[in-house]
Chains A and B, each alone.
Chain A
Amino acid sequence: MNVLIFGCGRTGAALALQLSRSHSVTVIEQNLDAVRRLGAKHDCRVVIGSGIDEDTLIRAGISEADAFFAVTRGDNTNLMAAQVAQINYNVKHICVRVADPNRAEAYRKLGMTCITPALIIAGMMRDWLTETPYEQIDSYNALPAEMEVI
């Protein structure tokens, strides 16, 4: 598969290194320093720029992408980039990191696959302590009733 990863933080770099074992991976990152997280030897293509900028997406090969991950620190940046990939380029697999649980829930309702790291970590830690078997990711990702705003 052709995989695009927007954001080369710890998450993006780890994802890129793992997927590039068997897939063609392109990393989009604005900050040249962050690209160092991939190490000196890696099989990823790197495009410097922003994933909300269509010229950058085109350079990164969005038209031929099978999967698009938006994993920068900015929820809104991720959500915008993912929607450009979805609406303008019809990328099949799109996955967005959204730190704010309520925002993630709102976009999940629109059909977006949102991963909320804080909820997953919290849920897994809870299950670890109570020696509950780990669950499917969706049950961790779901907004806990206590955090519902509306």
Chain B
Amino acid sequence: MYLILVGGGNVGMQLAKKLIGRGHEVLLMEKDSKQAHRLGTVLGEETIFVGDGCEIATQKEAGFNRADAVVAVTGEDEDNLVVCQMAKVVWNVQRVLARVNDPTHEAIFKKIGVDQTVSATSLIFSLLDQQITMDEFIPIGALAKGNIEIVETVLSGRSPAVGLRLRELSLPPQTNIIYILRNEQGMLVGGDTQFMEGDTILALVPSDKADALRDMLAAKH
């Protein structure tokens, strides 16, 4: 495949290296000539194109018309957006991918037709978010003067309940799993309901049994 990468920062360089290793024909575009020279010594000069990947004349020279994919990985979202958009509408490139630095921009990239966006911020946030919220019991409400709690938890991949059916769990007495949210759909829970990673579980549990329920559903920290 002929792959054009725009933006010769760290992301562009490492990506180019990997793709070359996979046997692809790779062209890395970088407008700063000093940086381009540096990249040339690492990746080989034939891989580097010195020029602004946002300009049509440069795009023509770089061979956008025969690229199987264009990947925009500069540090500026507006540059990545225009590169991808021109690759699509001017050069009819089949696959365009963009690095998105500000996650709030992801939506506009999708709307203008960029096939795939990657945001390091979103990625790190979601990983961190999972670490923080998965397996935690979140109190939703209390009944009977606080003697009974309504709790919510998200099952991580390490939860001992994942893969089991409700009937296979020996829930603590007076405890009931009342609802599962799976892929944003609500589900009633029966004996045959199987728990899956990522399920959000709502349960009613007596306060003094909450720890026992937690042991059943949540991975040990």
Interface of A toward B, CB cutoff 8 Å: 52-55, 74-77, 79-81, 83-84, 87-88, 100, 102-103, 106, 109-110, 149-150
Q: Would you call B54 and A87 a contact (CB within 8 A)?
A: no
Cβ-closest 4 pairs across A and B: A76-B78, A80-B78, A102-B56, A76-B82
CA distance A81 to B81 in the complex (A): 11
Q: Would you call B104 and A54 a contact (CB within 8 A)?
A: yes
Interface size class of B (residues with CB under 8 A): 20 to 34
Instruction: Say yes or no: is B166 at the interface (Cβ < 8 Å to chain A).
Output: no
- Of residues A53, A80, A87, A109, which shows the largest number of chain B Cβ atoms within 10 Å of its Cβ? A80
CB-contact partner of B56 in A54, A76, A150, under 8 A: A150
Q: Would you call B111 and A102 a contact (CB within 8 A)?
A: no
Q: Would you call A102 and B77 a contact (CB within 8 A)?
A: no
Interface of B is mostly: helix
Instruction: Say yes or no: is B112 at the interface (Cβ < 8 Å to chain A).
Output: yes
Q: Would you call A80 and B57 a contact (CB within 8 A)?
A: no
Q: Would you call B86 and A103 a contact (CB within 8 A)?
A: yes
- Least Cβ distance of B78 to chain A in Å? 4
Interface of B toward A, CB cutoff 8 Å: 54-57, 60, 76-79, 81-82, 85-86, 89-90, 102, 104-105, 107-108, 111-112
Nearest-CB residue, chain A, relative to B86: A106
Q: Would you call A52 and B112 a contact (CB within 8 A)?
A: no
Residues of A within 8 A of B55 (CB): 100, 102-103
Known A-B contacts A53-B104, A76-B78, A80-B82; the reply to A149 vs B57 at CB < 8 A is yes
CA distance A149 to B33 in the complex (A): 23
7 contacts between A and B (CB under 8 A): A53-B104, A54-B104, A55-B104, A76-B81, A80-B108, A84-B108, A100-B55
CA distance A106 to B56 in the complex (A): 9
CA distance A53 to B105 in the complex (A): 8
Other contacts beyond A76-B82, A88-B111: 8, CB < 8 A: A52-B78, A54-B104, A74-B78, A77-B78, A83-B81, A102-B55, A103-B56, A149-B60
- Least Cβ distance of A58 to chain B in Å? 11
CA distance A88 to B111 in the complex (A): 9
Known A-B contacts A80-B108, A87-B112, A110-B89; the reply to A75 vs B82 at CB < 8 A is yes
CA distance A100 to B53 in the complex (A): 13
Nearest-CB residue, chain A, relative to B58: A149
CB-contact partner of B108 in A55, A77, A88, A106, under 8 A: A88
Q: Would you call A79 and B104 a contact (CB within 8 A)?
A: no
